[in-house]
Amino acid sequence: MTKKLITRRSFIIGGSAVVTYLLWGEFSIAVRKYTIRISNLPQEYEGFTILHLSDLHSKWFGDEQKYLLKTINQEQFDLVAITGDLVNKTDPKLEPGLELIKGLKDKPVFFVPGNHEWWSGYKMREPLLSLGVHILENHSFKLKKGHKHLWLTGVDDPYSGRDDLEKSLTNIDDDGPIILLAHAPEIFPKGVKSKIDLILVGHTHGGQIRLPFIGAIIVPGQGLFPKYDYGLYREEKTNMIITGGLGESSLPIRFNIRPEIVLVTLTSK
């Protein structure tokens, strides 16, 4: 009888610990920071920091996103880049994404759509524009600071084949630094070929379940043990950062990969 009671207690304690860990992993926000060297970066942009957000998937972090915004607004940044999937196709609520954008510091916000925007009818477009968000769909934006500038370019969703990097670069008329926003990392080889300095993407959720020393088990579009799942990748002059994102799509579970916001600081040094 005593042995059965101990076994039952152990099972309950162990199960509670697992549930607590999974909830912590789903809602405890990590802050991930990178410093990226760009050789021709204008002095005016030395230390310029981009807040990179992705894959919210209609998820709430407290009422009016208060917990998420508290984490974000403790940091210093100059610009916000959102790389798609603000909504989730199975329950495409607009409010979580809109509340997030409303609560950001008074900084310029740039957005490119992901596959879930398109799968749910892309109802985010007009609400985002009404909040002053710059939507980059196969288009570039000249970001000026003083007499200098860099280029922000964005492509439509690569995962669903809507990206056109060549078109997005057509209005770039000098050799200034180029930062590319895209939803999915499949854009990387094209970015390397086009000599993009920095690519910011999401989509993978870091695999959502990561094995120690191995990484993601599976990522949509790349299959088992994907090549591009999470973190920093470099080839030639091109850097690509894949964020683990904030939300979940198919399974409401994260293991060994917390929701995260990413801060990318630019330097020429």
pLDDT tens per residue, range 211-266: 999 999 999 999 999 999 999 999 999 999 999 999 998 888 999 999 999 999 99
Residue at 84 is within a domain: yes
C-beta separation of 117 from 84 below 8 A: yes
Q: Tell how far CA 268 is from the center of its chain.
A: 24
Alpha-carbon dihedral sign for residues 208, 192, 139, 200? positive
The arithmetic mean of pLDDT across residues 131-141, rounded, is: 97
d(CA 235, CA 250): 31
pLDDT at 11: 44
Query: 241 with 201: CB under 8 angstroms?
Result: yes
Beta-strand relationship, 198-201 and 238-242: parallel
- Residue 46 counted as domain residue: yes
In a domain, 11, yes or no: no
pLDDT single digits (tens) 140-159: 999 999 999 999 999 999 99
Structural domain range at position 256: 30-267
| Count of structural domains within the chain | 1
Q: What is the pLDDT of residues 163-205, one digit of tens each?
A: 999 999 999 999 999 999 999 999 999 999 999 999 999 999 9
Q: Does residue 2 fall inside a structural domain?
A: no
CATH number at residue 201: 3.60.21.10
pLDDT of amino acid 208: 96
Nearest to 110 by CA among 169, 151, 158, 60: 151
Whole-number average pLDDT of the chain: 92
Per-residue pLDDT band for 269 (boundaries 50, 70, 90) equals confident
Separation CA 83–CA 182 (nearest Å):
6
User: Does 61 map to a domain?
Assistant: yes
Residues with Cβ within 8 Å of residue 69, at least 6 apart in sequence: 100, 103, 104
Contact 202, 85 (CB under 8 A): yes
Residue 9 lies in a domain: no
- Does 211 fall in a domain? yes
pLDDT score for 77: 97
Residue 23 is assigned to a structural domain of this protein? no
If you search the block for the tokens 């790389």, which residue do you land on?
A: 83
Q: Report how far residue 194's alpha carbon sits from residue 10's, in angstroms, rounded to the nearest whole number.
A: 57
Token digits of residue 49: 């920091």
Side-chain-side CA neighbours of 153 within 13 Å: the count stands at 29
Q: What angle do CA 190, 48, 68 make, to 5 degrees?
A: 90
d(CA 96, CA 99): 5
- Quick one: which of 47, 30, 32 has its CA closest to 262? 32
The pTM assigned to this predicted structure is 0.91
